[in-house]
Every structure is written in C-alpha cells, then in structure tokens.
Structure 1
Amino acid sequence: MPDTQLLLEALSCLSGCNVEQTNGVSQLTAQDFVNIVALKEFYKKEGFKELEYPSLGTLSLSDLDDHDMYSSPLALEAGRPSPQSLRTTVKVNPDDFFHTQFDYDFTNVKDGDKTFLRGSERYSRPCGWSRSALRVVQRYDGGEGWLGTGHSAWPVCYHGHTMDGSLGVILTAGQLEPNAEPGFLDAAAASLVTGETRGRGVYSTPDVKTAEKHCKRFKSKVDGKTYKVILQNRINPEKRQTCQREDVWLVYVPEGSTDVQTRAIVQESIRPYGMLLKPE
C-alpha cells in the first residue's frame, strides 16, 4: 500500500476537499467520492458556483486547481483567504476507506495483445499505474456480481479531471480546426448515437489512456514528486449511453432533474473500486 498521506493527498486532489486522517468513522464512503468528483464537474458545466452535498454542506465549484495546494503558498492580498482555506475538510479512516487486500501494481505490466473482459466488454487494464483498492465489498445491495469478471459484471470505466468539460472537444476533434473550442452541448450532441439526450450528463471512458489526458495532478508533500490520479469505476450498462466514439460513455441526466435525482442517477450508474496513481 502506498504511503497513507500520499493517498489522502490524492483524494484531496480528486475531490477538491482537504482530506485528513481519522481513527474514527470515515465522513464519506468511496461512493460519496465518485459522486462528488462527477457532480462537481457536472454542476460546474451547468454554470453553478456551489454544490450541496449531504454531511458536507456547501462545496465550492470555483476552480482552485490552478494553484498547487501542496507547494509553497502564493503571496496573498491582505484579507484574502488562501485556496486551501476555501476547501471543505473531510475526515477519512484509511482502514475503513481502502481495501489493501485488493491493491494491484500495474506499473511494470504490459498487456500487449492480451484481451481482458468485464461484463463481456473489453477491459483496458491500467498498465503503468498503481491501484489502491477502495472498500466497496458488501457495501451495495444485490451482491458482488457487478464487481466480478463474469457476464453480470459491470464494465470498467475511468474518470479524470474535466472529463465532462473536455470530452466535448475530444468527441469531434477530427472535425474541428486546430484550437477550436466548440460549445460543449453541441459537440456532445453531435457525438451521440441517440440524439435525444443532447449530451447532458456525466462522461467517462473505458480507455485509461484517454482518461490520462484529462487527469488531475498534484505535487506530494511526502516525496516531492508530481503524481497523476484517476478513479477506476464500474458503470451500469443499463444506465450508460453509447457515443459514436467507443472510448466515450455518457450517464444521461434529464433536464429538470432535482439535486437529489441527479445524485441518485450518478449513484445508480457509477461505482468506484480503485484509485490510480502514476508519478510523472
């Protein structure tokens, strides 16, 4: 298992919160974290400035990621709070949140032409990454079939930073002039096999290389290295919309959905089971 503090830094980077260690009960579950990562990007794209999340209250959607939260702080104007102080603090018990029994180091793994399946769909293993398993066994109703390798298993997907915003450009990249910036909904709508959804929702990819292009990075206090971080999830095949590009999947959120309904859609559609780290 990687250094505990390094993992907490990675969670902080993904969620935009200050994640700190506790010996008590974790304030959030692994499912909460994937909800927050997905919902923050979705609501930011919708033009909101804040996200309300149970047990945490109001989370800012302001983009604080341009500031390296683990480097020396920038000179601040008098009376202006630091970026760190604007983040919500979350307490996590590593023993309750991570499941080290299922950690796997893909750092030196090369699959070549080998094919792996999850739910009868190709699984692009995260070669070159180190995976810290999240504690999700016996956390959901209906058994563990979704997490297996058989026909009832959910396919694997990856979620990186700005997946929702950046993929609008990726989807039509072959049709655009260099450096063109299309409207997100227009680009997404053009990419979908079924046009009625108009691209509104949460995006992910079955291709770890695609996710890597849009992943978050942070400089660790532990060893001074800069790391890339991605969430590895399973996606409900019945909730996923197919795009023209095979490496783009959408969980559609209908217009008019309330905050509670939107959170329920994400929770029913995407389940996390690993956090991937790679030093640059």
Structure 2
Amino acid sequence: MGNCLKAQCPDGAVYAASTTKDAAGPAHGATGSAADGGADVAADAAAEYDAYGEEDEYAAGPGASAAPEPGNTDVEAAYIRWGELGPPCSMLSDDLPDWRFELDASKWKSYTLEDSIVLDRFMEAFRKKQAIEEDPPRLAKVRLLRKECIVDLQALTCQVGDSRPRKLQRHAVKSGWLSNRYFFEAFKAALAGSGVTVDAHPEEMFDFRFNQDFRNLADDGRKLMRGGQPYQLPLGWKRFAVNVKGQYDDGDNKWLKEDDSGWAVAYHGTTGEGLTGILCTGFRVGDRQKFENDTGAGIYCTPLIDVAQHYSKPKKYQGHTVQIVLQLRVKPSAIKHITDSSATPFEKKYWVINNPAHIRAYGVLIRELSLLDYVPPEVMVYGKSNPHVQKILKELIDEHEANK
C-alpha cells in the first residue's frame, strides 16, 4: 500500500498543505450508503457543487484554461488513464488528503475523502510523468461529488461541462488521537483479550473511506428517516465503517439504502470483548431474557444512541478511556417493541429482533468518556438508590482511581 501524496506541486500552482480543516468543509467519509448519515452531508456539498455547471462572474485562476474536448487521438493523449494510477494511500496514515474546490471567491468546499484519494492518485501519476516527460498528460476525467469532471492537474482546476474551471487545493488533515491506526490497534487488542489473533489487513475488515466523524457536529433540527423509522445521528461519536458492501443477500446492497426501502438504523452498546464475537460470528440470541414472554427471545438494540451507550462501559487503551457502540441496520418488519407493563420507560426504548439474520453491524462508534461520567444501565432501570446500583457505582470510582 502506497503512502499518501506529500504536498508538492508545480511552480505557481495552488497546492496548499494544512493541518486544519475549513469549518465549511464536510466531514470526511460523508458519502455513499456505507456511510449512512454522511450522505446527507455529501448531498449538501453536491448541491453547492451544482454551481460548477452554471456560468457566473467568477474568473478562472491564473494558468487555468478550458479543458479540451475528448474525441481524437491527440486530445486523448492529454488524459491520464485510470490504468496508470498507483495504489491509494494507506488509510492508516496520520495525514489523509483533503482536496477542496473554490465555491466562490475565497470560499472553499471539501470533497469527500473517497474523492480526495482519487485526486491524490491522479496527481501522483501526473508528477511521475512530469519528472520524465517533456509534455506529460495533465488532464483527468473523474466523477467528483456525483458530477463528471475534467481536472487539470497542472493548473489545479476542475471543470464540469461548459462551466468555467474552478481552482483546487490540497490540504493534509491530521487524524488526531482517534485515528484509523488507533482504532485498529485497539480493535486488535480487544480481540487478543478474547484469544483471537487478527492476521487480516485492516482494509479487509473495515472500509475507512466511509468513516464519519460526528464529534463536532451539532443537531440542526433535521428529521432523518431510514427504513421508515426515525434515524438519530450519533452526534459526539466517530464511526469506523465495517466492510459490508456485497457481503449479504448475494451482493445486493439494498438494505443499506438511505430511504424507506433500506433497513432501519439502530445501536447496540457493547464491550471490546463483546465486539469480538459480534463482528467475527454475528449476533446470537441469549438465554433467559427479561421480556421474552412479551417479544420472544431476540437481540436487543435501540434507535437511540443515548440509550445504547449505557451498555458500553468505558475501557482505557493507550491513554484514552473510550466507549464502543455498534451501529446497525435492522429489517423494519422484524422490529418488536417492548410493551410489558413491568418495563420501565427506559426499557421501552429497546427494540427486539428475533432472527439474527435481520440485524447487521455496519459501523463501530467510539467516543472518549471518563469512568466517572459513565452511567451504567442499572442506574436507568433501578435508580441510584438501589443497593446493587450503589455497589456498581462504587466499583467504577475505585476502577477510575486505579487507572490514574
């Protein structure tokens, strides 16, 4: 696997390197059904990107020129072919590419991470040709933010249709402590604690292109739906995408659709050890379930991240105490609600899925949370004054002190 392209460029090109991200830019990974919720962000970016296809008063930057129309051998020679591209950058890199286009004068918008990786591969191919050829091909035909584009890798511009070329920039985004590398090392450590050794490459198990960072997003009031059920974004968490495309239903990915034809979104709190079994062998129906007479035996989940997180006790790894919650898709017709009169309001927020085949994990959510801030589910069900709950809370305080 190759390394991410370093910030180098032809003289005079706009090719800035930065360790920060514009507030206007969408979070990386906000694209496609494998990053559910991210597509809503990507759709917003694509809507603004539609301005590419309209004439306006914005003048192209220095060195920019309209891309030649393909159609003859001489013109085609100006294009870099997909078959000439090298491998994508390692998703375990501490610096990931963040390509941006100029939406308006001095206003920049980020492409998705998947698009940025594609642009990196074309730029690397261009630079290699530039080093050995007098007049190397400089154009690339790519699809960015759902638009067919012509990218001029020398002038660093992008053009949609007959619109004016727009300037491009490349920045490098620092992953911070909750990087793909940290996540995968923590994942392997959790599996090792259960006696499981991971020999697979991380990208065989996870598709990091579709990660979504919700830690700095705020609720904008939009009501989202998936599979006919309300979808609560996991605000405050970072999601690492499980590699699930093509893994079910003979490769049919309709269950990942982001409309009523897809499956509903739910959450399942777990420990690192529990994560091991679920991702390796799938969900299993447990014995002696509290509401079995009401709903039948099944797997418990909830559409509310704030409920699921109570079942994920934080665990310390490499200096950070983190919670883990699985993001799921569940078959809408399989959802059973708890109606038992003995259930507390908290317990009535659960869903029960009887058939394990009707519940699929497609994302691993992580956030940092101190043991002192963690509220175990027993508090929500029985109350703080319960003697057993008091004992649990005392144990959490003792564990926190021991971890200092």
> Is 1:238 aligned to 2:333, yes or no?
yes
CA offsets per residue over residues 215-263 of structure 1, 9 Å max, x none? 1422122xx11111111010112333222365211122xxxxxxxxxxx
Contact 2:270 2:326 in 1 (8 A): no
Query: Residue 248 of structure 1 aligns to which amino acid in structure 2?
Result: Y
* Deviation at residue 150 of structure 1 after TM alignment: 1.4
* Counterpart-to-counterpart distance in 2, 1:239 and 1:12: 32
Structure 1 residues 118 and 246: CA distance shift in structure 2, 3 A:
farther
CA offsets per residue over residues 42-71 of structure 1, 9 Å max, x none? xxxxxxxxxxxxxxxxxxxxxxxxxxxxxx
Aligned to 1:7: 183
Structure 1 residues 160 and 210: CA distance shift in structure 2, 3 A:
same
Contact 2:180 2:208 in 1 (8 A): no
Aligned to 1:152: 261
Secondary structure of the 2:182 match is helix
Contact 2:336 2:351 in 1 (8 A): yes
CA offsets per residue over residues 188-221 of structure 1, 9 Å max, x none? 247x3x5xx2xx2211111000011111422122
Query: Residue 7 of structure 1 aligns to which amino acid in structure 2?
Result: F
Aligned to 1:107: 215
Structure 1 residues 134 and 88: CA distance shift in structure 2, 3 A:
closer
- Selected match of 1:188 from 283, 291, 307: 291
Contact 1:10 1:218 in 2 (8 A): no
Secondary structure of the 2:300 match is strand
Secondary structure of the 2:184 match is helix
Work out which structure has the larger RCO, using CA pairs closer than 8 Å and 6 or more positions apart in sequence.
1
> Is 1:219 aligned to 2:321, yes or no?
no
TM-score using structure 1 length: 0.54
* Counterpart-to-counterpart distance in 1, 2:228 and 2:256: 13
* Counterpart-to-counterpart distance in 2, 1:92 and 1:157: 27
TM-score using structure 2 length: 0.39
Aligned to 2:364: 275
Secondary structure of the 1:87 match is coil
Correspondences of 1:198-213 after superposition (within 5 Å):
200-213=297-310
User: Gaps spanning 5+ residues in structure 2: where?
Assistant: 1-90, 92-177, 272-286, 340-346, 370-404
Contact 2:225 2:260 in 1 (8 A): no
Query: Residue 111 of structure 1 aligns to which amino acid in structure 2?
Result: D
Query: Residue 214 of structure 1 aligns to which amino acid in structure 2?
Result: Y
Considering only aligned residues, what root-mean-square deviation do their CA atoms show, in Å? Answer: 2.5
Q: Number of paired residues?
A: 170
Aligned to 2:191: 17
* Counterpart-to-counterpart distance in 2, 1:246 and 1:121: 16
* Deviation at residue 149 of structure 1 after TM alignment: 1.1
Contact 1:9 1:220 in 2 (8 A): no
Aligned to 1:229: 324
Report which of the two structures shows the higher radius of gyration computed on alpha carbons: 2
* Deviation at residue 154 of structure 1 after TM alignment: 0.4
User: Gaps spanning 5+ residues in structure 1: where?
Assistant: 19-83, 163-182, 253-264
Correspondences of 1:169-180 after superposition (within 5 Å):
none
* Counterpart-to-counterpart distance in 2, 1:189 and 1:217: 28
* Counterpart-to-counterpart distance in 1, 2:349 and 2:315: 25
Secondary structure of the 1:92 match is coil
Aligned to 1:251: 353
* Deviation at residue 104 of structure 1 after TM alignment: 0.9
* Counterpart-to-counterpart distance in 2, 1:218 and 1:12: 14
Contact 2:188 2:197 in 1 (8 A): no
- Selected match of 1:138 from 229, 246, 249: 246
Contact 1:116 1:124 in 2 (8 A): yes
